[in-house]
Amino acid sequence: MLLLELPSSDPAGFLAWEDALLDVVEEGGPEMLWFWESPVHFVVVGYSQQVDREVDVAACRELGIPVLRRSSGGGTVLQGPGCLNYGLALRVDSDGPRATIAGTNREILSRIAGALTPLVGGEVQIDGHTDLTVPTPEGPRRKISGNAQRRKRHALLFHGTILHRLDLPLVSRTLKTPSSEPEYRAGRTHGHFVTNTGLDPGAIRSAISAAWQAAPGAPALPEDRQRRALAERYSREDWNFRR
């Protein structure tokens, strides 16, 4: 598997890169792993979500925080400094775990959880299908990672966040109570539900890369596809704010 370093970008550009890399694997290119972390805060909603239902739009405008929509499912999250993103573009196997959404979640999240457990000093486990959680002294487990996928005929995009030093109070200022939440959340507010790992992002990158046996490569990045995804989706208000 290739380990890529994405070019520096603005938030919309990073989302466009992920779509472009998925297309490369869909057309027979090598499987890939990459990481990125936005230098500025932004909110991103899931493909089928309504912005006004999930986001405090007025607060985001006051704070100068853009709101974008990604092409995968899942819930709304705050991105920015202290939130490391990983992405995987993988081939779909018709008779293996990646043949289904649930099987893909289990295969990938089990591997990510196994990579992170030695770093956090407590077992990282899968909760609510697509969340990774850690134990806390207060009792209830807290979320450190949310994940989602987008599937095409021959390839899939699986990506997620790992919180290490995100401004957590800003989550409560910009996001409303989610329209859909896993049972284990038990009605907790954002401030009592998510937590930072406090890990060095370099250590996170190394652990996940080793888990996937990913090695650095230097392929020609699909810049034309990235620009097209940016122009057709992520730079357009009718995409980001569509109902």
Predicted local confidence at residue 172, as pLDDT: 97
Distances (CA, A) of 117 to 15, 81, 188: 28, 22, 24
Predicted local confidence at residue 65, as pLDDT: 98
Q: Check residue 175 and report its DSSP letter.
A: B
Residues of the chain with pLDDT under 50: none
Q: Distance (Å, rounded) from C-alpha 68 to C-alpha 11?
A: 8
For domain 2-95+147-240, is the CATH number 3.40.50.300?
no
Q: Check residue 221 and report its DSSP letter.
A: P
Q: Check residue 237 and report its DSSP letter.
A: H
Predicted local confidence at residue 206, as pLDDT: 98
Residue written as token pair 């770093």: 119
| Partners of residue 148 on adjacent β-strands | 159
Predicted local confidence at residue 218, as pLDDT: 74
Q: Distance (Å, rounded) from C-alpha 71 to C-alpha 3?
A: 22
Structural element, H or E, at residue 82:
none
3-state secondary structure 88-149: EEEECCCCCHHHCHHHHHHHHHHHHHHHHHHHHCCCCEEECCCEEEEEECCEEEEEEEEEEE
| Partners of residue 131 on adjacent β-strands | 127, 146
Residue 14 contacts residue 34 (beta carbons within 8 Å): no
Relative to beta strand 83-91, strand 77-79 is unpaired
Predicted local confidence at residue 103, as pLDDT: 96
SS3 breakdown of the chain: % helix, strand, coil, rounded to 5? 35, 25, 35
Residue 51 contacts residue 116 (beta carbons within 8 Å): no
Residue written as token pair 């939130």: 83
Domain residue spans in the chain?
A: 2-95+147-240
Cross-sheet strand order for the sheet of 77-79: 67-69, 42-45, 77-79
Residue written as token pair 């990158």: 205
Give 215-231 pLDDT, tens digit per residue.
Answer: 998 778 999 999 999 99
